[in-house]
Amino acid sequence: MPLKRWLVGNPLKTALATHQRLSKRLALAVFSSDSLSSVAYATEEILLVLIPSSLAFAHFSIPISLTIILLLAILTLSYSQIVFEYPGGGGAYIVSKSNLGEWPGLIAAASLIIDYVLTVAVSVAAGIAAITSAVPSLFPHRTVLGVFAILIVLLVNLRGVRESGKVFAVPTYMFIGAMLLMLAVGTYQLLFGQLTPVVSQNVAAQTAVESVSLFLLLRAFASGCTALTGVEVISNGVPSFRPPEPKNAAITMIMMALVLGILFFGISTMAYHLEIVPKEDETVVSQIARAIFGEGVLYYLIQASTMLILVLAANSAFAGFPRLASLLARDGYMPRQMELMGDRLVFSNGIIILGVFSCLLIVMFGGDTHALIPLYAVGVFLSFTLSQAGMVCRWLDKRGPHWQNKIIINGIGAIATTIATTIIASTKFMQGAWLVFILILVLVWMFRSVHSHYKAVVDQITLTRDHRPPLPRRNIVVIPINGVNQAVLRAVDYARSRPGEIRAVMVDVDPQSTARIQIQWAQWGCGVNLIALPSPYRSVLGSLIDYIEEILEKEPDIWVTVVIPEILPAHWWQGILHNQRALLLKTALLFKERIILTDVPFHLKK
Amino acid sequence: MPLKRWLVGNPLKTALATHQRLSKRLALAVFSSDSLSSVAYATEEILLVLIPSSLAFAHFSIPISLTIILLLAILTLSYSQIVFEYPGGGGAYIVSKSNLGEWPGLIAAASLIIDYVLTVAVSVAAGIAAITSAVPSLFPHRTVLGVFAILIVLLVNLRGVRESGKVFAVPTYMFIGAMLLMLAVGTYQLLFGQLTPVVSQNVAAQTAVESVSLFLLLRAFASGCTALTGVEVISNGVPSFRPPEPKNAAITMIMMALVLGILFFGISTMAYHLEIVPKEDETVVSQIARAIFGEGVLYYLIQASTMLILVLAANSAFAGFPRLASLLARDGYMPRQMELMGDRLVFSNGIIILGVFSCLLIVMFGGDTHALIPLYAVGVFLSFTLSQAGMVCRWLDKRGPHWQNKIIINGIGAIATTIATTIIASTKFMQGAWLVFILILVLVWMFRSVHSHYKAVVDQITLTRDHRPPLPRRNIVVIPINGVNQAVLRAVDYARSRPGEIRAVMVDVDPQSTARIQIQWAQWGCGVNLIALPSPYRSVLGSLIDYIEEILEKEPDIWVTVVIPEILPAHWWQGILHNQRALLLKTALLFKERIILTDVPFHLKK
């Protein structure tokens, strides 16, 4: 398959697998893009909840952002403990399963799977929004652009993880740099009064001051929590780090949290001071950048790097999802195919499935970030909660040095994430979170079904003490023929290649042709016995089957091999021109014990 | 298949075939319904051409009907000669092919096939029209009713020909009786002035007298020629008669022509005297019957028996089409499957194909007789012409007693049908006849393609003088395994049932599991050699294929049998849960010479 090779590269040897590890710098590019990129939409989602109620509520975005950053700090601390405790990769699935049991583990896995798919969809939709903010003429094509972006990420990932790291390091650091520059320039301009608030059309219209409701604030908090999605990605990916894996992973995670906190707080503050109102066709970040840099090169740099890091965020899910699927497959909760590495040392099946489902979401939701957000974050926070709760149980059970301190850290994490999950689930329930709960139930049910099927298979094929190695048995070879030709001769040639009893069998439909075939057989039959079966009904098939079943009845301990001379046409559409007798015979004999079918194909050239 | 048995009955022995013959009385019921039933629409079609031009033209229907009856006489005489000359069945295909050559034969066959399908569609549509004339509330459902009627006829025919005869004898004679009664009563009423013309809404509107054009008369004649469709059916079905077949067939044909002539002339005359104008929702026959019998029992008897004989006409095509298809298949112009008799001594495949295509026509043309008519008759008359021309050539070639007389009879037939064909084709060309010509070309092209494919196959598989019976060759059996379990053991058991070299082969993906399998193999392997292949790339499949190809390369004259232990799930949807390795392996090895694949299935119970 030259096309496949050109697209995904040549196969890599297994021995190369351990070299495919990431330095901290590359790992930050691969694993942190999910978190960092969420600053592109998190502030906007908070404002989208607050401002439609009243412009006067916009200032609540600052305390809400600070609360989310506090939550980020708690999570980062909690997760560093997990990284050290699970150097083999401590995703929510593993942590919950090993400490809380099978069901919580499966619920965590289901939540994560849903969120991986949503990460791809949301990130790509937001990335495309960054582009269409800069180039408004592309706005109507955002669905197609989104699907196209996913396909590119899919291909890059099928090529393998190290190349992904290399490809993506530059844009990640470009994004961080550009954002920091924007915030620095913006702060300077604000301090020296060079920056004036963006005049919005809506400002004049809204003047009535209403009192803020707690529900509104909680909903704004819930929307902002999307900023924290992706924090867990590193804990899943510990084995991809260079040794010592846990330490490198923890350092990378803290770095990531720092950058994320700074960017998120900076953008929220800047949006507040510039009095920015979310628009349908331009993102908040784009409005900020336009206010600070005008329409110059730096503005486009911000938009381009935002788009790129969002695509990287999608990529981060492509690194995480197949790993999780592989773990689930290894434990027998997903089809076995998911476990295998492809020939480029990546889990090809998982990558492809993720690509397909996220494309579906993009198409279903018309490539609109805001429409996808209510589904997002519920699953992530559910898995956060399960992980932290699992760690608390672990310390209670295992103890070890400083276990009290550790239990406090994970305990605070567990309590904080439980509260956040409850807030997110309740404020977003009607807008889509209900769907996520249903999907989690469905996925858990699927995991259980797959698991019990595999268990049933093992029970049925395992060799026990009651089994004995089989004693040698006889084998009668039957070759059904309806003429003497090269295809039949080939089947006879094959059957004769091993010693044993061989019988060519024909059905006597018409005495004349039977006699002719018998004469030809004398010349060509290689001494194989030819039996002509009577056929009172014209059913050739029925007579053959009766004959074979008779053999089986007479000798209850032999095999019967039916060697079928099959003429295979050169083109598939010619198949209709040949009697489907071979097919019918095979279908009729397929489910009989002790009958083994062997096709000896004779390939036509034209 | 109990459902199949219940629907089509138990299989019949071949020895019963000769007893499945028809007496003249039954044969008339089976074979004449096509012709006789056409009186239900032929008169109407003539009037539909004449009356829209001017009501004053209605009287032309009488001379046109007489011309058609003259043509009927010529055809009947011509065809009786064919029946005697071709006692094995002398359809247009056989007569044209044996006397005029392959191309005319194939054109005749294509014309007949198209007309068989149209006979079913037109007859059923007209039969439903008879019903909806009596019960107008059914008019909107005529398409569904038509499809339903075809399905019933299909089933009856799959049960076999003798039962068809029995089932259909009563309604045919009921139709003839009812029609003759209607014409007799009508004539009596006319003579004694008890019958007054039907008052039509259109009469007042049309008063202008126009001059009749020749084209209009020819078009009316062409439409009326549909009365003659079905005359040839008996000549195709000679072998279904009791011996002496030709004589019985000829007598039946003359009887049929007599009845047809009387009914057709009677209805045309009656329609003229009653000044009947065709309506969209009531047939001409229904209007005549209503005028003569009122709304009583006899009116409904006429409508019901008309419907029944039209369904029988459809049935007549079901008797003829599969026979023709079988002849074509025997000569290699149609797929071989068409040649075989089903287990009820009927040609099941042909019957099913005819049913499907005629249902399609009914649906496409909305169950409207009048819309289908322009397609009809062109093919029949083309095949009439080819038959008669073929017979002329035959007498010229063969001579024999009274050959001059015979040549005159068939010559007149040939000239008359040539003229009729030309008239039909030219006057109906734009209304649909062009489609028939295209279909004929397509069918002939298909016949030729099928023929040349079969010829190519024979050329490729025939044993010639250059061939020698094959010398004995070696056979190495390879059993790919990935563990030791009951499924693998079953494959080893099978492979050992014939002597020879057997190698179990595994791919060493992970040294630990390889070691475990080797230990288990020592206990369960029945002494078969186990080879562990290295796999630098994780592709199990690739390593296996490389290994097998190596064997073939080293020894260029052996067979390799790949015995695949295949776990078959109890339910199809479980298939997704098993590695598709067996399938992939089979796909990869399918088109290699000297590799023979053998599945040893292990069926899971749950």
Peptide bond preceding A244 in cis form (omega within 30 of 0): yes
CB contact at 8 A, B508 and B514: yes
Chain A residues touching B450 at Cβ < 8 A: 577
> Looking at this predicted complex, what is its ipTM?
0.71
Nearest 5°: phi and psi at B556? -75, 0
Instruction: Check whether B12 has a pLDDT greater than 80.
Output: no
* Range in A223-227, A250-254, A583-587 with the lowest mean pLDDT: A583-587
Q: What is the pLDDT of residues A76-90, one digit of tens each?
A: 999 988 888 888 777
**Residue B22: which region, alpha, beta or left (left: phi > 0; alpha: psi -120 to 50)?**
beta
Closest CA to B57 of B217, B195, B197: B217
Distance of CA B386 to the CA centre of its chain: 21
Instruction: Please compute the mean of the pLDDT values over residues A561-587 and round it to a whole number.
Output: 81
Chain A residues near residue B600 by CB distance under 8 angstroms: 596
**Distance of alpha carbon A37 from its chain centroid, rounded?**
20
Residues shown for chain A: 606
pLDDT band at A184 (very low <50, low <70, confident <90, very high): very high
pLDDT at B73: 93
- Helix A297-330 crosses helix A24-31 at what angle (to 10 degrees)? 90
Q: What is the pLDDT of residues A402-458, one digit of tens each?
A: 888 889 989 999 999 999 999 988 888 888 888 899 999 999 999 999 999 999 988
Residue A344 pLDDT grade (very low, low, confident, very high; cuts 50, 70, 90): very low
Confirm if A47 and A278 have CB atoms less than 8 A apart: yes
pLDDT of residue B17: 47
Distance (Å) from the alpha carbon of A543 to chain B's nearest alpha carbon: 12
The predicted model gives B14-26 an average pLDDT of 64
Residue A238, pLDDT score: 83
**SS3 of chain B: helix, strand, coil, percent, to 5:** 70, 5, 25
A residues 558-587 closer than 8 Å to B (CB): 558-559, 561, 567, 569, 574, 576-580
Q: What is the per-residue pLDDT across B255-304, written as a single tens digit (0 to 9) for each?
A: 999 999 999 999 999 999 888 888 888 899 999 999 888 888 999 999 99
Q: A24-28, A182-186, A429-433, B86-90 — which one is most confidently predicted on average?
A: A182-186
B241, B252 in Cβ contact below 8 A?
A: yes
pLDDT at residue A161 greater than cutoff 60: no
What pLDDT, on a 0 to 100 scale, did the predictor assign at position B11? 52
- Cβ A499–B496 below 8 Å, yes or no? no
Angle at A65 between CA A64 and CA A70, to 5 degrees: 95
Residue B345 CA to chain centroid, in angstroms?
16
Contact A84, A246 (CB under 8 A): yes
Average pLDDT on A164-193 reads 85
- Residue A561 has a pLDDT of 94
Q: Which residue of B has its CA nearest to A458?
A: B485
In 3-state terms, what secondary structure has residue A537? coil
Nearest to B212 by CA among B424, B63, B66, B428: B63
Greater pLDDT, B12 or B359: B359
Q: Do B577 and A450 touch (CB under 8 A)?
A: yes
Closest Cα in chain B, distance from residue A604 (Å): 7
The torsion region of residue B120 among left (phi > 0), alpha (psi -120 to 50) and beta comes to: alpha
Q: In the numeric block, which tokens belong to residue B81? A: 């000669």
Structure tokens at A145: 């652009």
Residue for token digits 């339910």? B571
Categorize the per-residue pLDDT at A16 as very low, low, confident or very high, splitting at 50, 70 and 90: very low
pLDDT value, residue A451: 93
Mean pLDDT, chain A, rounded, equals 85
Contact A509, A538 (CB under 8 A): yes
Do residues A98 and A106 touch, judged by C-beta distance below 8 A?
Answer: no
- Measured CA to CA, the distance from residue A223 to residue A370 in angstroms comes to 10
User: What are the tens digits of pLDDT across the range B506-515?
Assistant: 998 888 989 9
- Non-local (6+) Cβ contacts of A404 within 8 A are none
Q: In this model, does residue B340 exceed pLDDT 90?
A: no
The per-residue pLDDT for A100 is 92
Q: Which amino acid is at A349?
A: N
Whether residue A503 lies within 8 A of chain B, CB to CB, comes out as: no
Query: Which residue among B343, B470, B601 sits closest to A489, beta carbon to beta carbon?
Result: B470
Do the Cβ atoms of A487 and B454 come within 8 Å? no
pLDDT of residue B14: 47
Q: Decide if A500 touches B, using CB distance below 8 A.
A: yes
Radius of gyration of chain A (CA): 33
What distance in Å separates the CA atoms of residue A34 and residue A233, rounded to the nearest whole number? 8
Please give the pLDDT value at position B165: 62
Residue B494 in contact with partner chain A when CB distance is under 8 A? yes
At residue B132, φ and ψ (nearest 5 deg) are -70, -20
A-contacting residues in B 435-474 (Cβ below 8 Å): 450, 453-454, 456-457, 460-463, 467, 469-470, 472-474
* Reduced 3-state DSSP string for A55-95: HHHHHHHHHHHHHHHHHHHHHHHHHHHHHHHCCCCCCHHHH
Q: What is the mean pLDDT of residues B413-439?
A: 89
d(CA A379, CA A118): 10
Of B493, B524, B602, Cβ closest to residue A463: B524
A137 touches chain B (CB under 8 A): no
Q: Are B121 and B365 in contact (CB under 8 A)?
A: yes
Q: Do A603 and B596 touch (CB under 8 A)?
A: no
Provide the CB-side half-sphere exposure for A422 (13 A, CA): 6
Residue in chain B lying closest to A339 (CA):
B579
pLDDT, position B269: 92
For B453-508, the DSSP string reads HHHHHHHHH---TT--PPPP--EEEEEE-SS-SHHHHHHHHHHHTS-SEEEEEEEE
The least confident of A266-275, A459-468, B117-126 is: A459-468
**Residue B1's pLDDT band (cuts 50, 70, 90):** very low
Q: Are the C-beta atoms of B480 and B544 separated by less than 8 Å?
A: yes
What's residue B180's pLDDT?
94
pLDDT of residue B66: 93
Q: CA end-to-end span of chain B, whole Å?
A: 24
Question: Taking Cα atoms as reference points, which of A489, A513, A577 lies closest to residue B455?
Answer: A577
Higher confidence at residue B194 or residue A507? Answer: A507
* DSSP state letters, A89-142: ---HHHHHHHHH-HHHHHHHHHHHHHHHHHHHHHHHHHHHHHHHHHSGGGGGGH
Q: What is the pTM of this model?
A: 0.69
Q: Is B555 on the interface with A (CB under 8 A)?
A: no
Q: Which residue matches tokens 């797959």?
A: A450
Cα separation, A399 vs A72, whole angstroms: 26
Residue in B closest to A496 by C-alpha: B472
Q: How many degrees, rounded to 5, is the angle at CA A371 between CA A370 and CA A373?
A: 65
Q: Which of B349, B497, B598 to mutate to test the interface with A (most CBs of A within 10 A)?
A: B497
Model confidence at A20, in pLDDT bands (50, 70, 90)? low
Whether A598 sits inside 8 A of B598 (CB atoms) is yes
Decide if A596 and B600 are in contact by the 8 Å CB cutoff: yes
Residue with tokens 């029995």: B166
Mean pLDDT value across chain B: 85
Tokens of B105: 């034969």
Q: What tens digit of pLDDT does each residue of B129-172 get?
A: 999 998 888 888 889 999 999 998 888 877 765 555 666 688 88
Q: Which one of A596, A598, A600 would you mutate to disrupt binding with B, by most B Cβ within 10 Å of its Cβ?
A: A596
Shortest alpha-carbon distance between residue A573 and chain B (Å): 11
Q: What is the pLDDT of residue A429?
A: 86
Q: Locate tokens 């296996």: which residue?
A: B544
The residues near B11 (Cβ < 8 Å, ≥ 6 apart) are A537, A539, B343, B344
pLDDT in tens, B377-410: 888 899 999 999 999 999 998 888 888 888 998 9
Judge whether residue B501 has pLDDT over 50: yes
Q: Provide the pLDDT for residue A199.
A: 58
Beta carbons of A537 and B500 less than 8 Å apart? no
Question: Is the per-residue pLDDT at A395 higher than 80?
Answer: yes
- Report the half-sphere exposure of B595 (CA within 13 A, side-chain side): 24
Choose the closest CB to B579 out of A337, A487, A574: A337
Residue A526 has pLDDT above 60, yes or no: yes
Phi, psi at B241, each rounded to 5°: -80, 160
What residues form DSSP beta bridges with B597?
A: B562
Give A240→chain B minimum CA distance, Å: 19
Q: Per-residue pLDDT for A147 more than 80?
A: yes
Q: What is the pLDDT of residue A539?
A: 74
Residues in B closer than 8 angstroms to A536, CB to CB, are 13-15
